[in-house]
Amino acid sequence: MTRLDLYADFQGWELAVDSRHEFTCRAKALHAYEDGDEFNGLTFGNRGAASIHARLYNKTAEIKVSGASYWPSIWGRAYDPDESVLRVEYEVGRDVLRQYGVKEPQEVLDAAGAIWADLTGAWLVHRVPTGDATKSRWPVSDVWRAVQRASLAEGAQGLKRVYLGVRRGGIENLTPALFGYLASFGAYAGAKDMNEILPYLAFFMDREEARTGRTFEERIVAKRREIGLP
């Protein structure tokens, strides 16, 4: 296994650029995550097989750019559309996973909760500033204690629910273009509605399969793999 990605989403915590001074981290690298003049979060550490990389960023703002509109349906009733979502995300490299004593995918999945506990309890911690010159003695903030308590069990979101959200979001993103292509196809075919389009569509799809030597079913399977769907 080359990398493990862990994340949890939260509302009610508005991260500010000055918040970077409130963290203790084993890594030295620290960067502000910005989109133009808008501050969206912080990054800690470096990407790589022997490294840990953490990001705390505005997931709501990222969705507007990526078009991943399915996330609200995954968050479900816990999601408040009037508040932004902050994602706490870790990328754990292959060599670091071996230091944790895990290598095979099932071992990594079984250890995910313990790895999260170590990452949020020792590697990166948000604290409440005090007069103490030693930051590691500052108390852990209440919002970070909520981060530490995050459940990484499947029931937290549910894999089926995640895949359903991905499918729904993908369909919503494709529908406008698909609608336009089908309208153009119908115009060229001389069809008046969808019922008249379907026979023409089946005919030309059969011709395309014969031309390429690749069935439509094979294309669907390949697309599932490409998108990451089961």
The residues that bridge with 93 in the sheet, in sequence order, are 3
Q: 196-211, pLDDT tens digit by residue?
A: 888 888 888 888 889 9
Q: Report the alpha-carbon distance of residue 123 to residue 135 in Å, rounded.
A: 14
H/E element, 172: helix 159-189
Question: Looking at residue 173, what is its pLDDT?
Answer: 72
**Can you give the pTM of this predicted structure?**
0.67
| First-to-last C-alpha distance (Å) of the chain | 19
Residues of the chain with pLDDT under 50: 153-159, 161-162
Question: Looking at residue 164, what is its pLDDT?
Answer: 55
Inter-axis angle of helices 194-212 and 159-189, to 10 degrees?
Answer: 100
Question: Looking at residue 133, what is its pLDDT?
Answer: 93
The residues that bridge with 125 in the sheet, in sequence order, are 24
Helix (H, G, I), strand (E, B) or coil at 140: strand
Question: Looking at residue 26, what is its pLDDT?
Answer: 95
Question: Looking at residue 159, what is its pLDDT?
Answer: 43
